[in-house]
Amino acid sequence: MRHGETDYNRNNILQGHINTHLNETGKKQAYRVAKYIKRNNLKFDKIYVSPLDRAQETAEIVSGRNRNDFIIDDRLIEIDYGENIDGKCIAELDEETVSFLNDPLNVLPPKGVEDISHLMERVYSFIREIIKTNEDEQILIVTHGETIRAFFACVEGLEYFIEDIWKMPINNCDLFYIRYKNKISHGMGMM
């Protein structure tokens, strides 16, 4: 799932590795997901979370657990926009940067911005590891929009839709599911 809303989200400011916190709307979004999880009797054996506070706050609210129960994994961090772009309003960005944000598969990233192939490599590494170490377990992963897109791009069967994946909207606190069965994955949906 994606973290709840932050003031940066609300104001269209890029927040890759910047450590922001949930705003009141973000907390309300997370509590709605917590109710959904409880109503549907979803239980998670493990919770993997990005090292950024906005994801950890969301995981705490959604799961009702303390951060000490989470497995923090750096591979789940948001794309690194670099010091020249991170923290800037999208309306302030130059044409090159906007082109990359709109089409990261076909436009080279501006200097200092993490390449999409690197993002996908780290996400794929995470996927392979959790499949090997978490057989028959239900896992909650709380992360970020671009990281979720990379997740979907790495899922077997979905890679054929990679262009669409990078354009699909992923709203704050959207909760998705992926079922694993004898291969990287099969089935995907949004809750």
165-174 pLDDT, tens per residue?
888 899 999 9
> Out of 58-67, 76-85, 104-113, 163-172, which region has the weakest mean confidence (pLDDT)?
163-172
- The model's pTM is 0.91
Best CATH choice for the domain 7-190 from the list 3.40.50.300, 1.10.1300.10, 3.20.20.100, 3.40.50.1240: 3.40.50.1240
> Out of 13-22, 35-44, 129-138, which region has the weakest mean confidence (pLDDT)?
129-138
HSE, side-chain direction, 13 A CA sphere, residue 67? 11
> Out of 29-38, 55-64, 153-162, 163-172, which region has the weakest mean confidence (pLDDT)?
153-162
Closest CA to 162 of 170, 171, 152: 152
Mean pLDDT of 6-21: 97
152 within 8 A of 165, measured Cβ to Cβ: yes
170 within 8 A of 142, measured Cβ to Cβ: no
Mean pLDDT of 78-104: 94
Share of the chain above pLDDT 90, in %: 74
- Higher per-residue pLDDT: 164 or 106: 106
Query: For residue 126, what pLDDT is reported?
Result: 96
Query: For residue 166, what pLDDT is reported?
Result: 82
23 within 8 A of 11, measured Cβ to Cβ: no
